[in-house]
Amino acid sequence: MREAIIIDTDPGQDDAVALLLAFASRDRLDLRAITTVAGNVPVGQTTANALRIRDLTGAEGASVPVYAGAGGPLLFPLETAEFVCGPDGLAGADLPAPASEATPGHAVEAIIAICRASPDHGVTLCPLGPLTNLALAIRLAPDILPKVKRIVLMGGALGLGNMTPAAEFNIHVDPHAAAIVFDCGRPIVMVGLGVTLQAIASHEQVARIGGLGTAAGRAIHGMLTRPRPGGLGTSGHPMHDPCVIGFLLWPELFSGRDCHVEAETGTGPLRGRTTIDWHGRLRREPNAYVVSSVEAAALFNRMIERLTTLP
């Protein structure tokens, strides 16, 4: 049976690759909706980018609704990542303007409605950006929790952060939302920097994708080969968000451990840190499966194979 999923996202080049991988995997994944959130860039731009990426997937992709969501974190002012993604969020990707607008209705309402209409444990939530929409949905409608099979999220870090020494970007931006999600009681898979920094797309792999001869392949190649504004070097592009979809499709390529995870919500230097009790010192009930390694070469081969199926 196909796994019903909602992808909550802030595209972002790596979000874009994750979306395309999900569109290329409709035989395994029943993509019910894409919901957008402010993160890498403001929500108007993440929504436009989600629509532009959907447009690459042809008529079949057009049936997946895109709903615009939260314009900023629960409490903190929005911090964005143009230094990684460029002002348009997709590193200046040469993609046309969206062919259509987002579906009317707020992303949070859409998440609630889709969950309510599903059987118990019927929907997997896949957040690829700050967790604002999910936290709002959980707070507004806690009755949806039994409908959630699991939450497979990109966020957090076993070691150092990438936004601050302590924090990974998605959790740093909205740590209060992250605290609500980690505390929600549903199974969580945390795909953090500990694993995603093992999945660096090499020049050779990006060239293979560009050589597929498809619009999606050309778009990915374009996004991943433009110089990143932050002077982040040219040694490859981490495929943070695609690891979430990769985990859904090929869990056997990943390994990790059940742990207790807490998101730090203070305003000091630890803001957004995920404190992971890897050794069970606190003797607290684990609230997440923390993924720590991936067979990256196999992941990229399987991803590229999937991407060949897109127009």
Complex with Ca ion: residue 61 or 238, whichever CB lies closer: 238
Min separation Cβ 111 and ligand BDR, Å: 18
- Could you say which of Ca ion, ligand BDR, none residue 36 binds, taking C-beta under 5 to 8 angstroms by partner kind? none
When the beta carbons of 112 and 177 are compared against ligand BDR, the nearer one is 177
Cβ proximity to Ca ion, 19 vs 148, nearer residue: 19
**Strand 237-238 and strand 3-9: pairing?**
unpaired
Exposed (0-12), middle (13-18) or buried (19+): which is 71, by Cβ within 10 Å?
middle
| Separation of alpha carbons 24 and 57, rounded Å | 8
For the question of residue 106 being annotated catalytic, the response is no
CA torsion through residues 140, 245, 291, 124, sign:
positive
Task: Enumerate residues 233-262 that contact ligand BDR by CB under 6 A.
Answer: 240-241
- Shortest spacing between CB 232 and ligand BDR, in angstroms: 11
Interaction partner, residue 23 (ligand BDR, Ca ion, none; CB < 5-8 Å by kind): none
Tokens describing residue 81: 């990542």
Closest among 168, 195, 223, 178 to 52, alpha carbons compared: 223
Contacting Ca ion within 224-283 (CB under 5 A): 241
Among candidate residues 203, 240, 260, 279, the one labeled active-site is: 240
Please say whether the beta carbons of 40 and 52 come within 8 A.
Answer: no
Binding positions for ligand BDR, rule: CB under 6 A: 12, 14-15, 40, 81, 84, 128-129, 154, 162, 168-170, 240-241
